[in-house]
Amino acid sequence: MGVDKAVIPAAGMGTRFLPATKATPKEMLPVVDTPAIQYVVEEAVAAGLDDLLFVTGRNKRALEDHFDRNLELEEVLAEKGDDARLRLVERSSDLARIHYVRQGQPLGLGHAVLMSRHHVGPQPFAVLLGDDLIDPRDPILPRMIDVRERLGGSVLCLMEVPREQISLYGCAAVEATGEPGVVRVTDLVEKPPVESAPSSLAVIGRYVLDPAIFEILADTPPGRGGEIQLTDALQRLCHPGVPGGGVHGVLFTGRRYDTGDRLSYLQAVIQLALEREDLGGPLRAWLMGRLGLPGGE
């Protein structure tokens, strides 16, 4: 069966961004002028995934409104003849078929994925996290879907990170497959201490999962931080002989922007704004001025 559904968990507490996330999901925080989650939705659609399921929490209104029509705003912009902004407003409601399921309590990413079981059914599906923005010039999902279709099982997106940062991520132990850029994942550990991490390969927020994950998640006790961890369930799928098992990793070497914590979020915003035609020049000059560099304003 092909992959055409994507699950986008957006029910976390976003505690690292309080108070901004008191009434707004962190996935709605703007990266330059577009909510992080819209970049993720556009990536899914570009990869041919046209059925999207958001797992939402207590503040789902902002998400639903963003991907719905806003007739009043559209009318005002049309009356003013502001076609460019009108197109921007219409775009987010025309992107894809979006469905919603509620995660009553934020019991962890694994639990959020489990909430999608009924909607997804017995077919492989993608999961995309709003914390990781993948540059559209370096798409990785199509490659992951291709690996799933050829090799079966589940597929992770792995990225080499500086060794001292591996304790911030899920970490994969891997062996070669003979195919460049594709490895077999033999073990997974969530946020290991640097000394005992099996590699410097971090699990990034893109997954293509076999539906066997649901049975395992339903039976996965809370792990690190008292949350039901997706990594713990995936770890069980790494073991040989587990039905629906087999986990591969696709190595990602492209441009990725982390929006998960405040510093990396600010870096992502600046990086992406510097690349914008309308903002890049003046922002660069201002930054150089702030840093006392020649040519700055």
Binding of residue 55 to ligand UTP (CB under 6 A): yes
Measured CA angle at 116 (ends 112, 118), to 5 deg: 145
C-beta atoms surrounding 79 within 10 Å: 8
Binding of residue 10 to ligand UTP (CB under 6 A): yes
Cβ closest to ligand UTP, residue 131 vs residue 210: 131
Binding of residue 106 to ligand UTP (CB under 6 A): yes
CB of 56 to ligand UTP, least distance (A): 8
CB of 17 to ligand UTP, least distance (A): 6
38, 92, 103, 116: which one contacts ligand UTP (CB under 6 A)? 103
| Pairwise CA distance, residues 41 & 67, whole Å | 10
Q: Tell me the two tokens of residue 70.
A: 């806003």
CB of 128 to ligand UTP, least distance (A): 9
Cβ closest to ligand UTP, residue 125 vs residue 182: 125
Q: Is 258 exposed, middle or buried (0-12, 13-18, 19+ CB in 10 A)?
A: middle
Question: Is residue 180 within 8 Å of 86, Cβ to Cβ?
Answer: no
Find the part of the chain contacting ligand UTP (CB under 6 A) among 123-131, 145-153, 174-182, 237-245: 123-131
Strand partners, 6: 52, 126
- Could you tell me the sign of the dihedral formed by the alpha carbons of 75, 77, 82, 87, in that order? negative
Contacting residues for 72 by C-beta, under 8 A, at least 6 apart: none
Binding of residue 109 to ligand UTP (CB under 6 A): yes
Q: Nearest 5°: phi and psi at 289?
A: -60, -45
In the chain, where does DSSP find H-type helix?
36-46, 60-66, 71-80, 83-94, 109-114, 117-120, 141-151, 212-218, 230-237, 262-274, 280-290
Mask of contacts with ligand UTP, 247-286, x by CB under 6 A?
A: -------------x--------------------------
Q: Hey, what long-range contacts does 274-280 have (CB within 8 A, 24 or more apart)?
A: 276/32, 279/32
Cβ closest to ligand UTP, residue 5 vs residue 26: 26
Cβ closest to ligand UTP, residue 77 vs residue 204: 204
C-beta atoms surrounding 116 within 10 Å: 25
111, 143, 148, 256: which one contacts ligand UTP (CB under 6 A)? 111
Binding of residue 170 to ligand UTP (CB under 6 A): no
54, 60, 63, 130: which one contacts ligand UTP (CB under 6 A)? 130
29, 43, 53, 131: which one contacts ligand UTP (CB under 6 A)? 131
Cβ closest to ligand UTP, residue 41 vs residue 77: 41
3, 6, 7, 14: which one contacts ligand UTP (CB under 6 A)? 14
Contact positions toward ligand UTP, by CB under 6 A? Answer: 9-16, 26, 55, 103, 106-109, 111-112, 129-131, 260
